Amino acid sequence: MNELRIKSQERLLAYGIRPSLPRVEVMLYLLEHRTHPNVDTIYKDLLPKIPSLSKTTVYNTVQRLSEKGAILRLTIDEKNVCFDGCSDPHAHFLCKNCGKIYDLNFSPKANMQLDFSEHLIDEVSLYYRGICKECLAKMKK
């Protein structure tokens, strides 16, 4: 069993989720693929590996993982809900030209100058939208 598979199972257990085959595989997929996939992409990519997998199972799995905090549910793109295997607080950038979503090295809790001492914050979402550097370079040519 490879190290990332073990990490996937440990992540599920740490968030109180029983590690079934689909749950482990979806978690593993999200840890391996930092592309912020949607349910359709996860399903399509895992189907050859798990022929009995259904799209409903993938949908229910990511719902459960995001509700428990094991993954992030991203609504940065109005057309698709995407998922991120990194549940640490960080910002995201959506390129309005190519549609890719990128992680930004920015910790919202560390960089915001707001006083939350009287509140319990359990989730922060910080989204940026614009044109990525790759698309900008193509536009300049």
The CATH number that applies at residue 25 is 1.10.10.10
Give tens-digit pLDDT for 48-107: 999 999 999 999 999 999 999 999 999 988 888 999 999 887 889 999 999 999 998 765
pTM: 0.84
For residues 47 and 105, give the distance between their C-alpha atoms in angstroms, rounded to a whole number.
Answer: 32
Q: Are residues 78 and 22 in the same domain?
A: yes
What domain range includes position 67? Answer: 3-84
Q: Are residues 69 and 108 in the same domain?
A: no
Residue 16 has pLDDT above 60, yes or no: yes
Q: Are residues 59 and 41 in the same domain?
A: yes
Residue 24 has pLDDT above 60, yes or no: yes
Q: Are residues 106 and 80 in the same domain?
A: no
Residue 112 has pLDDT above 70, yes or no: no
Residue 110 has pLDDT above 90, yes or no: no
* pLDDT score at 45: 98
Q: Are residues 63 and 31 in the same domain?
A: yes
**Secondary structure class of 112 (helix, strand, coil):** coil
**Secondary structure class of 37 (helix, strand, coil):** coil
Counting the structural domains of the chain, the total is 2
Residue 1 has pLDDT above 60, yes or no: no
* Domain final position from 56, 84, 112: 84
Q: Are residues 69 and 37 in the same domain?
A: yes
User: What DSSP string describes 62-103?
Assistant: HHHHHHHTSSEEEEEETTEEEEES--SS-EEEEETTT--EEE
Q: Are residues 16 and 78 in the same domain?
A: yes
